[in-house]
């Protein structure tokens, strides 16, 4: 037996015995053992290479193993591996400065967390303390993380097993022109009706009880939901009129994903609090945070903020952030993401939709796209029902298997494939990915009604 086969068996055996995996029935899964990764690819122990069209969980914005970021982490480890969060330290100060300089408006102070859900938890805590109000409003089509407040804010089915019904959350419908909850006939009508619905919900909940409205700038996990023009500005206006804190969750879409440093720039809006994580370090070391407006920072100028984390602003993570932001700036990764969307992914995916009747809609921007797969193009019936599993999900499972067989690692969600490769993916790899997709869409076409 060769050494790769031995290594594979060792990794798999210990994984099966001792690793408890996220979101899974432990005995029903068979995780792929990954042996290594570089750029837009990772590979297993059996010689299979995968073009990663999911950027891990939409976070390897500069691809795997960028040598400059790996070196910066090693250098920081050699110098100072850790220091308590209460101290001022060069690399943390620098990471905060680089992030604050890129966030919109006066979001100039950074509270560091370990990841995205903690950023959401702390943003909500800040909003409640700042306003003295208890409730938070979020969209049904949303994902905000898996800690208690964050998963209760989440609209999608992952909330169902965690719903406390006491988290002070009120859900509403955001705009989604393709499957309009408002029976709208155009984007403009969808926007107008979605804003009226939000305003009505605020009024009937009692604005004096609402601390914050939280939105993903572009809904990520719920399906790359790009807001219609005017929607985010309209939400900003509703928040201002009622004294409600506006939180944008940019955990998935920050740091180049939509072709801007932060997605809010696409619509020229500034929230009061902005949550980030994932792309800030390309996931090389976990880091998240909240960028805070001057008005909210002022609330805690002379009153202690009742929240903190042992590893807030961990120096290895901050070194990774400084290096990642440096690489993105030097190599023009944000601009590349915008160009890749406009010139390669957008046109390429639309061309696939022309050829494959099971593609109901293509939407996205930058390196962040979704194909809505349908059983019937006329009725737009999804290829599989909402929250499908087992036999009901067979068409999507077959599609996923075909993509992997072709050498592409997909991000499948419900009846959609999300296309989210590294923001610096090469033109050749985009073309290769589109070709693999083209072949595999024959599977979904064959499952149409």
Ligand X SMILES: Cc1ncc(COP(=O)(O)O)c(C=O)c1O
Could you tell me if 364 and 421 are in contact, meaning their C-beta atoms sit under 8 angstroms apart?
no
Residue placing its CB nearer to ligand X in the complex, 39 or 286: 286
Which tokens in the block code for residue 52?
A: 């990663």
CB 117 to ligand X: min, Å: 3
CB 378 to ligand X: min, Å: 32
Residue placing its CB nearer to ligand X in the complex, 313 or 395: 313
The C-alpha atoms of residue 129 and residue 300 are separated, in whole angstroms, by: 9
Residue placing its CB nearer to ligand X in the complex, 73 or 115: 115
DSSP-assigned letter for residue 422: -
CB 120 to ligand X: min, Å: 6
CB 412 to ligand X: min, Å: 15
Could you tell me if 275 and 248 are in contact, meaning their C-beta atoms sit under 8 angstroms apart?
yes
**Beta partners for residue 139, in sequence order:** 172
The C-alpha atoms of residue 287 and residue 276 are separated, in whole angstroms, by: 9
The set of residues, in sequence order, having a beta carbon less than 8 Å from that of 236 and lying 6+ positions away, is: 246, 269, 270, 271
Residue whose CB is nearest to ligand X in the complex, by number? 116
Tell how far CA 352 is from the center of its chain: 24
CB 311 to ligand X: min, Å: 14
DSSP string, 156-183: SGGGGGG--S-S-EEEE----GGG-TT-
CB 396 to ligand X: min, Å: 19
CB 308 to ligand X: min, Å: 17
Residue placing its CB nearer to ligand X in the complex, 219 or 382: 219
CB 216 to ligand X: min, Å: 5
Residue placing its CB nearer to ligand X in the complex, 245 or 402: 245
CB 277 to ligand X: min, Å: 5
For 2, 154, 224, 225, 341, the CA distances from 364, given in Å and listed in that order, are 45, 21, 6, 8, 8
Q: Is the dihedral of CA 356, 228, 185, 188 positive or negative?
A: negative
Residue placing its CB nearer to ligand X in the complex, 277 or 440: 277
210 burial class (0-12, 13-18, 19+ CB within 10 angstroms)? buried
Could you tell me if 226 and 212 are in contact, meaning their C-beta atoms sit under 8 angstroms apart?
no
The set of residues, in sequence order, having a beta carbon less than 8 Å from that of 445 and lying 6+ positions away, is: 356, 357, 358
CB 154 to ligand X: min, Å: 8
Residues that bind ligand X (CB under 6 A): 57, 115-117, 120, 143-145, 216, 220-221, 249, 251-252, 277, 288
Residue placing its CB nearer to ligand X in the complex, 121 or 429: 121
The C-alpha atoms of residue 352 and residue 410 are separated, in whole angstroms, by: 16
Residue placing its CB nearer to ligand X in the complex, 145 or 289: 145
Could you tell me if 288 and 118 are in contact, meaning their C-beta atoms sit under 8 angstroms apart?
yes
SS3 of residue 24 by DSSP? coil
Q: Which residue has the tokens 């029903």?
A: 28
Residue placing its CB nearer to ligand X in the complex, 135 or 257: 257
Residue placing its CB nearer to ligand X in the complex, 192 or 216: 216
**Beta partners for residue 373, in sequence order:** 359
Could you tell me if 174 and 141 are in contact, meaning their C-beta atoms sit under 8 angstroms apart?
yes
The C-alpha atoms of residue 45 and residue 204 are separated, in whole angstroms, by: 57
CB 355 to ligand X: min, Å: 31
Residue placing its CB nearer to ligand X in the complex, 52 or 249: 249
Could you tell me if 274 and 297 are in contact, meaning their C-beta atoms sit under 8 angstroms apart?
no
**Beta partners for residue 416, in sequence order:** 372, 413
């Amino acid at each position: 037996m060769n050494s790769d086969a031995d290594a594979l068996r060792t990794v798999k055996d210990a994984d099966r015995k001792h690793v408890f995996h996220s979101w899974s029935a432990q005995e029903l899964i068979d995780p792929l053992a990954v042996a290594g990764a570089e750029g837009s690819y990772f590979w297993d122990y059996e010689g299979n290479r995968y073009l990663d069209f999911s950027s891990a969980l939409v976070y390897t914005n500069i691809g795997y193993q960028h040598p400059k970021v790996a070196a910066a982490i090693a250098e920081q480890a050699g110098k100072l591996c850790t220091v308590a969060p209460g101290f001022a330290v060069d690399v943390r100060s620098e990471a905060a400065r680089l992030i604050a300089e890129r966030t919109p408006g006066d979001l100039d102070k950074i509270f560091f967390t370990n990841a995205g859900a903690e950023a959401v938890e702390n943003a909500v805590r800040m909003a409640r303390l700042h306003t003295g109000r208890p409730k938070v409003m979020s969209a049904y089509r949303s994902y905000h993380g898996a800690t208690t407040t964050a998963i209760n804010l989440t609209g999608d089915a992952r909330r169902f097993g965690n719903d406390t019904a006491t988290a002070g959350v009120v859900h509403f419908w955001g705009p989604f022109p393709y499957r309009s909850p408002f029976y709208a006939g155009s984007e403009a009508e969808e926007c107008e009706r979605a804003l009226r619905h939000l305003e009505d919900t605020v009024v009937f909940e009692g604005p004096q009880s609402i601390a914050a409205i939280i939105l993903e700038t572009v809904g990520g996990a719920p399906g790359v939901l790009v807001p219609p023009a005017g929607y985010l500005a309209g939400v900003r206006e509703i928040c201002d009129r009622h004294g409600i804190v506006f939180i944008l969750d940019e955990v998935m879409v920050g740091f180049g994903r939509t072709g801007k440093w932060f997605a809010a720039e696409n619509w020229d809006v500034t929230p009061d609090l902005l949550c980030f994580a994932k792309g800030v370090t390309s996931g090389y070391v976990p880091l998240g945070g909240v960028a805070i407006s001057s008005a909210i920072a002022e609330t805690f100028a002379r009153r202690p903020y009742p929240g903190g984390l042992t590893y807030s602003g961990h120096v290895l993570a901050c070194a990774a952030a400084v290096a990642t932001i440096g690489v993105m700036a030097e190599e023009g990764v944000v601009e590349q993401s915008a160009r890749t969307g406009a010139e390669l992914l957008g046109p390429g995916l639309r061309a696939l939709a022309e050829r494959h009747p099971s593609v109901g809609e293509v939407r996205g921007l930058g390196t962040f796209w979704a194909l809505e797969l349908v059983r019937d193009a006329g009725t737009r019936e999804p290829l599989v029902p909402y929250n499908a599993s087992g036999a009901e999900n067979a068409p999507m499972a077959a599609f996923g298997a075909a993509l992997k067989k072709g050498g592409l690692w997909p991000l499948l969600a419900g009846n959609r494939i999300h296309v989210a490769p590294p923001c610096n993916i090469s033109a050749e790899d985009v073309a290769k990915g589109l070709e693999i997709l083209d072949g595999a869409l024959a599977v979904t076409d064959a499952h149409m009604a």
